[in-house]
Amino acid sequence: MVKIALLGSGLIGQFYAQALMGGRSRDSIQVVYSRTETRAEALASKWGIPMTTTSMLDAIRHPDVELVVVAVPNHMHEEAVVASAKAGKGVLCTKPLGRNAAEAWRMLQAVEQANVFHGYLEDLVYPPKTLKALDTVRAGALGKILWVRSRETHPGPHSAWFWDRAMAGGGAVVDMGCHCIEIARNFIGKHVRPLEVVCWGATQVHPIDSEDHAIGLVRYENGAIGQFEVSWTFRGGMDLRDEISGTEGTIWLNHWLRTGIEVFTATGSNHYVAEKSESNTGWLFPVGDEATALGYTDMFEDMLNAYERGTPPRESFYDGYIVNAIVDASYRSMQSKRWEAIELEQWRGESETTIESGPAMLDSDHEVIKREVLPDGSTRWIVRNRTTGEIKNLSE
């Protein structure tokens, strides 16, 4: 049994408690911290947590606690992580790791110097559909991954602090682009270095200093492209979709608005439908088990198994740091309107990998550009002569 302190009782604290304590779990949240005693007590009584506190440090230092789960707003992550490392406790931190790469780097240094276990709680690389897709890609079914498109859009966050640039570190890019960026890294391969970013972002709707809509491209050293599309202006609920495109195949994932259960109700009811659902009448797209569909269940299984075995989890603070560095470059690009280099204190992956491969040959003179069976049943080859460069059709 792993003995846990949960810092935060907001939206993500509730999901984490459900994932950790909702089933017949072997693990136990010993203490929950919240700013207000009533919120802490409400969460504690729902999940049978024995202790509550309004002091973050008391929760971290409590002798019954070995592992700290950080689920407080972005501006408090560094303080929580550094205090956990100083107390010699393992620490799991929600996304984004820092408000920027400098903060994330200091957090990585703190846990590595203290030699404590650390995990980056990027749930959206753990939904069962995504784990299956990752296995499929790693088994080679899609060939070499060329392009990953990841989209997270909804009508905007539920708490005031997200909209405050100083507390959050930015807008939709740092809040949701962080998910999309790490999803793309997982499919492209975390050993492949991300080199540069071009990003458009704007404040289209809400009266805030941050961007509420952005689209970016991340170019990797092997030539692969990660594309992120994020919005706090999207209407119609929460749209979470990923597309993975390789030399030999494609995967499309839709996590939220088409989940396999579609309900029509003319009268509606007051019941909860799904996170960020905007309506409870008409056609609805509920989610059977949100904690699992969003990856929280498999994420904590991986994290706590790794903690007990003393092995690294799938997502570490180094991954969180790389994501923050890509987010920082995206913000620079939004200002400069140019490709911006991703600046890293340290690269721990590989270098000079390439997705380019030699062309297939039709015969010793002709490289195959494309083969297609046409509606009349004939096969057409489009080929390029190696010597002359001439491109022509050949039909069978």
Residues contributing to the site for ligand NAD (CB under 6 A): 8-13, 34-35, 39, 71-74, 76, 94-95, 121, 123, 159, 161
Nearest CB to ligand NAD, comparing residues 8 and 119: 8
Nearest CB to ligand NAD, comparing residues 246 and 313: 313
Residue 139 Cβ, how far from ligand NAD at the closest point, in Å?
Answer: 27
For CA atoms 154, 155, 157, 161, the dihedral sign is: positive
Nearest CB to ligand NAD, comparing residues 159 and 250: 159
Residue 255 Cβ, how far from ligand NAD at the closest point, in Å?
Answer: 11
Nearest CB to ligand NAD, comparing residues 158 and 191: 158
CB burial of residue 36 (10 Å; 0-12, 13-18, 19+): exposed
54, 246, 367 from 249: Cα distances, Å? 51, 5, 21
Residue 186 Cβ, how far from ligand NAD at the closest point, in Å?
Answer: 15
Distance CA 199, CA 176 (A): 14
How open is the CA angle 323-172-220, to the nearest 5 degrees? 35
Nearest CB to ligand NAD, comparing residues 76 and 369: 76
Residue 189 Cβ, how far from ligand NAD at the closest point, in Å?
Answer: 23
User: Which tokens in the block code for residue 187?
Assistant: 């499919």
> Phi and psi at residue 375, in whole multiples of 5°?
-55, -30
Please count the residues of the chain.
396
Residue 197 Cβ, how far from ligand NAD at the closest point, in Å?
Answer: 21
Nearest CB to ligand NAD, comparing residues 159 and 385: 159
Quote the distance between the C-alpha of residue 94 and its chain's center: 10
User: Which tokens in the block code for residue 170?
Assistant: 């930015």
Nearest CB to ligand NAD, comparing residues 54 and 311: 54
Residue 361 three-state SS: strand
Cross-strand partners of 28: 3
Residue 221 Cβ, how far from ligand NAD at the closest point, in Å?
Answer: 28
Closest listed residue to residue 221, CA positions, set 198, 248, 247, 196: 196
Residue 39 Cβ, how far from ligand NAD at the closest point, in Å?
Answer: 6
Distance CA 396, CA 394 (A): 7
In the bound state, the residue with its beta carbon closest to ligand NAD is: 10
DSSP 323: H
